[in-house]
Structure 1
Amino acid sequence: MFKLADSKATRLLRFPAHSIAGLAGTSFKHEHLGAILAERPAYGFFEVHAENYMGAGGPPHRALESVRCDHPVSLHGVCMSIGGPQRIDAAHLGRFAALVERYEPALVSEHLAWSTHQTTYFNDLLPLPYTEATLARVAEHIDEVQEAIRRPILLENPSTYVMFRDSTMKETDFIRELARRSGCGLLLDINNVFVSATNHGFSAIDYLSDFPLDRVGEIHLAGHAEQTDDQDEPLLIDSHDGPVADAVWTLFDIVLGRCGPIPTLVEWDSKIPDWSVLKAEAMAAQAILNLHAQTAAFGSTYATR
């Protein structure tokens, strides 16, 4: 298991250490930069995909640096292939670690998925069989990443469209044991839960009741696309191209009622709307976070009387 060493205490930080506790945020899109920088006071946090910033410099870095001065940032990897059968790509991991060092993100995360085969990189996040062999391999990969960046990561639960006959444990049990062995935290993507539950016919509420919420350091919300499969059954796609669905907002409220406010990000990665639309989604998440923060504070005050 990775042991956390606080390297920040021994070096000078490049950016302000903005608090992310209880905040809602959004995906950072460069077309929104002007509107974001014009807002005062600064609001919320922003998530970026690490692979979009692995060049040495240029406009992407200048934009991210300007945002990072006033906001906490969540660094979200999408191509580490932590669940893959081969070793973590050392060059990719080195670039990822350099970004963590450069931008001092408040949160660092990756996916419980694989996306590579030998030298081929797939433009997708593919599912895993939940077996002891897979568990051991993924835990080893997480340890390697955490040692390289000198901090724990948050691992995101997947959205899935197939299930494996070889699986010997539930997804929630697999994730729970993975966090215990590796010391990583978890990123709970509630839209992914709803998508998978609909596609496979299980209860999203039951899944969340069994999820290790005590290890969750960030929540994701997103939109999904509705389709049907070859048997005319509902098929949801984790598309990130529209507003958060009402059912996902309901699940979000239920989760916060159980674990309290947790930094929450609204993902929107295609069919990008105007900043006002994306900000409104984040503000809706913030309103629910604030409500649960007030409820927790009232309960604590009442309990001391």
Structure 2
Amino acid sequence: MDARTAPEQARAPAASSLPARAGVGFKNVHFADIDASAPDIGFFEIHAENYMGAGGPPHAQLMQLRRDFPLSIHGVGLSIGGAEPLDRDHLRRVKSVVDRYAPAAFSEHLAWSTQGARFLNDLLPLPYSATTLAHVVAHVDEVQEALGRPILLENPAAYLRFKSSDYSEIEFLREIVRRTDCRLLLDVTNAYVSATNLAFSAEDYIDAFPMRYVDEIHLAGYAEDADEIGDPLLIDAHCAPVQDQIWRLYDRALARRGPVATLIEWDNDIPTFALLSAQAARAELLLDKVRSPLKTALDRTPS
């Protein structure tokens, strides 16, 4: 049987109650359109760090949104991949946002982004070594204990490979899940960006990814550049419509995973809400494609 169509083993218990639908990242410039149109969107996702203030319009908007739609919270500043201890104050602020909004899922990145008291404006890579694994496992355990829930950990976009790595990225993610009982967020665009930049097969990566632990998928448009010798260099910029290559990989992932919550990320050069919704509608069509055979099979199962 082809790896793409081979059924997954029994699904691991979910860390998310998000619907298996397409959602979008919430931007406050879209609030009036959302409020006026009551769009058919599966869920909204926010960055925790944008809601760490005590109140004001951002929280008023989000409280209203939360009444009508499921919510996913995505962290970008916990530096789970870092060698230094987690910033306890930052974790406390994340917990405050999570407690306030009781999201259907909370996710973070397999990356690091702090140096001492400095927050760096990037999600930086890490070597996949036994030493790093110990740090990541300890940090995931600490975050999950603080939040009182399992988290989803996202695969990174990579621009270099460390010689000191002892694991492949997928082996590293599997081991984190085994040791912490966290779940995974598969960023299909990150997989394609990494594959292009590091010259490996994105299809092979999707075929090997541990889909039984995936509770959410991210899709985004990337930016194209070139390195110093003229080879293609892709940037995970969240600045454009999802490209055809990403849609094909997403279709491949769904063939293995089945329907799952899927987010359209668009954080730079923010489009109209109509364009963002159209991207979500395209994802919904692909979700419907894998839903239909599943529904048919269930309908045919004797009661």
Given the two structures, how large is their TM-score scaled by the length of structure 1?
Answer: 0.92
Q: Is the 8 A contact 2:222 2:234 kept in 1?
A: yes
Instruction: Report the equivalent of 2:186.
Output: 188
Q: Is the 8 A contact 1:208 1:255 kept in 2?
A: yes
Flag the 1:162–1:23 CA change in 2: closer, same or farther, 3 A: same
Aligned length: 290
Instruction: Report the equivalent of 2:69.
Output: 71
Instruction: Report the equivalent of 2:270.
Output: 272
Instruction: Report the equivalent of 1:222.
Output: 220
Which of 95, 98, 101 aligns to 1:97? It is 95
Instruction: Report the equivalent of 2:148.
Output: 150
Give the % identical residues: 51
> 290-299 or 153-162, which moves further after superposition?
290-299
Matched, 1:122 2:120: yes
Instruction: Report the equivalent of 1:15.
Output: none
CA distance in 2, matches of 1:124, 1:200: 19
Shift of 1:66: 1.1
> 284-293 or 265-274, which moves further after superposition?
284-293
SS of 1:124 mapped into structure 2: strand
Shift of 1:41: 6.1
CA distance in 2, matches of 1:77, 1:245: 25
The code of the aligned residue for 2:223 comes to A
Which of 279, 295, 298 aligns to 1:297? It is 295
Given the two structures, how large is their TM-score scaled by the length of structure 2?
Answer: 0.93
Instruction: Report the equivalent of 1:11.
Output: none
CA distance in 1, matches of 2:228, 2:300: 55
Q: Is the 8 A contact 1:226 1:237 kept in 2?
A: yes
Shift of 1:195: 0.2
Any unmatched runs of 5+ in structure 1? 7-17
Describe the superposition over 1:181-216 as per-residue Cα deviations: whole angstroms up to 9, x where unpaired.
011000000000000000010001111121111000
Q: Is the 8 A contact 1:22 1:290 kept in 2?
A: no
CA distance in 1, matches of 2:124, 2:46: 21
SS of 2:68 mapped into structure 1: coil
CA distance in 2, matches of 1:199, 1:243: 20
Which of 218, 226, 232 aligns to 2:230? It is 232
CA distance in 2, matches of 1:50, 1:19: 18
CA distance in 2, matches of 1:41, 1:54: 27
Instruction: Report the equivalent of 1:241.
Output: 239
SS of 1:287 mapped into structure 2: helix
CA distance in 2, matches of 1:263, 1:222: 14
The code of the aligned residue for 1:47 comes to E
SS of 2:156 mapped into structure 1: coil
Instruction: Report the equivalent of 1:56.
Output: 54
Q: Is the 8 A contact 1:80 1:110 kept in 2?
A: yes
Describe the superposition over 1:89-113 as per-residue Cα deviations: whole angstroms up to 9, x where unpaired.
1111011111111101011000000
Matched, 1:86 2:95: no
CA distance in 1, matches of 2:70, 2:268: 23
CA distance in 2, matches of 1:41, 1:192: 28
CA distance in 1, matches of 2:41, 2:250: 21
Describe the superposition over 1:238-283 as per-residue Cα deviations: whole angstroms up to 9, x where unpaired.
0000000101000101111111000000000010111100000011
Shift of 1:304: 4.6
The code of the aligned residue for 2:236 comes to D
CA distance in 2, matches of 1:46, 1:134: 32
Shift of 1:20: 2.8
CA distance in 2, matches of 1:282, 1:259: 18
Matched, 1:21 2:19: yes
SS of 2:254 mapped into structure 1: helix
Describe the superposition over 1:25-58 as per-residue Cα deviations: whole angstroms up to 9, x where unpaired.
0010001001111223653211100000001111
